[in-house]
Amino acid sequence: MLKPLSAPIMITVLLLAIGNLLNAAEISSNRVGGGAWSDPATWHGGVVPGASDDVVILKNDVVSFDRNDDGKVSCRKMQIDPKGVFTFKTSVGKAICCLGDALDISGVIKLDGTKSASDFFELRFVGATADQRKIKLAKGAGLLLYGKANLPDGRCNVALRSPKIGEQKDDLVSIVEADGVVSIDWQRAYIHEVKLIAKKIDNTGAKPNERLNLIDNQFTGQARVWLQYCDTPIISKNTFECKTAKPIEEAAINVSYSPLTEIKGNTIKGGFAIGITVNNQSDSVLLNNTVEKCAAGITGGYGIPNTMLRGCVVRDCAVGIKLEGASGVVEHTVVESATTAFHMQNSNMQLTHFVVKNLNPKGQAVLFDTGTLSLLNCNIAPAQIKIGVQPATAKTDPVTCVHYAIIAVKDAPADCLVDVRTTGLAADANDPNVRNTPAPLAGGLSPLPKTLNPLTVKAWTFDLKGKLLAGPEYTVRVLGPAAKEGDARPVLKTTTFRPQESAFRAMPDDTTPTLEVKFK
């Protein structure tokens, strides 16, 4: 973790910058290929830029920063023309460039620390106001950050920072703005007090000079990500840690209208109104993310068809997951120490292996407003569900609980099937309470969940008036092999059972049976 700048050093920086304002000049690169920042030959007129100067890196020039300007301002504003490049020189150890005002990029900024573990490259924003810390990426621009992999103690050797300076009381967040035809590729970098706002970027590879990858970075302070109308962005394996005195009224990760988004393996800790929010998405993936100590863990909706939410952990958030206007499945997800673990409005959802731990005694595992909800192998009791008044237009039971039915059949002949059916239902009627019947036996068991076609039975429902209705009785028949092809299978054994109110399987593929049928 990088340390904040000391007050005496940064006061000196500001005084030097203010004192030189009257001597400000615009200094451009040499038009013949650029060179090292500290070399006078790199600059038109042979003068190395100072703290009060505005720098322009011209087309086809590559300027490599080669100084450690920790404690002073490298230049005031910087502008990079199309096809101009600002980079950092490899093998110089620590190189820190401090900008006193806004950054306008039409070319490329590249911090590449992958060549040497001894390098440390930082682009630092030290302007006195938030406007003086803005970074604008124009069409064709690129902001590329590549830290070296596998450094000890989680260290990053590439950084983008907007630190406190002098007696500054409030954090100044640097805004990176990008709107179409831009390359943003941040990997293994340290990002402090920098908010990314990116729109209309295509990360499919179909369009040249467009990229949007945020992978294995460390975001601290109020650093966060806001994406809109982007195609296939990747936000993976990042950490977001906010320790501000006041909560941030935004999400750490906010993505909307961005199909095929991948939000995988991120860890978000504290200080945010929401850990992750996705809205108006399609075919997106939220996989193996962890959110801790935010007001809400994961939210979204307003049309998120075919969005997968799987393998996430939400801990110490008042609201675990909240969805509105959504459809799909939340599976293999844990919500711990919440007041409301799952809140849904106007949605059609299924929770599969959804686990609630340490629920607030006065809270709800499920706060249900409108729509339909199916629970499959969840450790949620009916008493932990609160159902709002249903609209007059609603026609189906709002909440249904379904259990896996793992049937063990001992000493049965080979090639038997097990058939489960609602007791008393006509033989030729469709059974709405059972799925995947009849089922084959393997090793004396009906299919486990990992086969993707296990037997399932309805256990209980809430009706439109919020009344709990017990599930029906089921008849289990063991069907022997047919005498010849086309013949009906003979019934070898028959029994009945009623599903328990709770039949949660902590390990879904545990072979412990729901019901055991014996032949001997």
Chunk the chain into consecutive blocks of 10 residues (it has 520) and report each block's average pLDDT, rounded to whole numbers: 48 45 79 96 96 96 97 96 96 94 96 95 95 95 97 95 83 93 97 97 92 97 96 98 85 96 96 95 92 96 80 97 92 97 94 96 95 96 94 91 95 92 92 95 94 96 93 95 88 94 93 90
Q: Has residue 489 been placed in a domain?
A: yes
Report residue 185 as tokens. 């590729």
7 domain residue, yes or no: no
Q: Among all chains, which residue has been given the structure tokens 């009627």?
A: 429
What burial letters (b/e) apply to 503-512, b meaning 16+ CB within 10 Å?
bbbeebeeee
Q: Is residue 449 part of a domain?
A: yes
CA distance 375 to 185: 40
Return the ∠ at Cα 134 (arms to 130 and 138), rounded to 5°: 160
Query: What does 60-113 look like in DSSP terms, one character per residue?
Result: T-EEEE--B-TTS-SBS-EEE-TT-EEEE-TTSSEEEEEESS-EEESSEEEEE-
Q: Is residue 83 part of a domain?
A: no
In a domain, residue 495? The reply is yes
| Residue whose entry in the numeric block shows the structure tokens 């000079």 | 209
For residue 315, what are its two tokens?
A: 């801990």
pTM, two decimals, is 0.91
Q: How many domains does the chain have?
A: 1
**Helix or strand holding residue 506 (H, E):** none
The boundaries of the domain holding residue 420 are: 408-518
Residue 422 forms part of a structural domain:
yes
Q: Given this model, what pLDDT does residue 9 score? A: 45
CB count in 10 Å sphere of residue 17: 23
> Residue 2: its pLDDT value, please?
53
SS (H, E, C) 439-497: EECECCECCCHHHCCCCEEEEEEECCCCCEEECCCEEEEEECCCCCCCCCCCEEEEEEE
With respect to residue 267, please indicate whether it lies within any of the assigned structural domains: no
* Burial (CB count within 10 angstroms: exposed 0-12, middle 13-18, buried 19+), residue 245: exposed
Is residue 239 included in any domain, yes or no? no
Query: What are the phi and psi torsion angles at 417 (to 5°)?
Result: -120, 155
Six token digits for residue 13: 């920086």
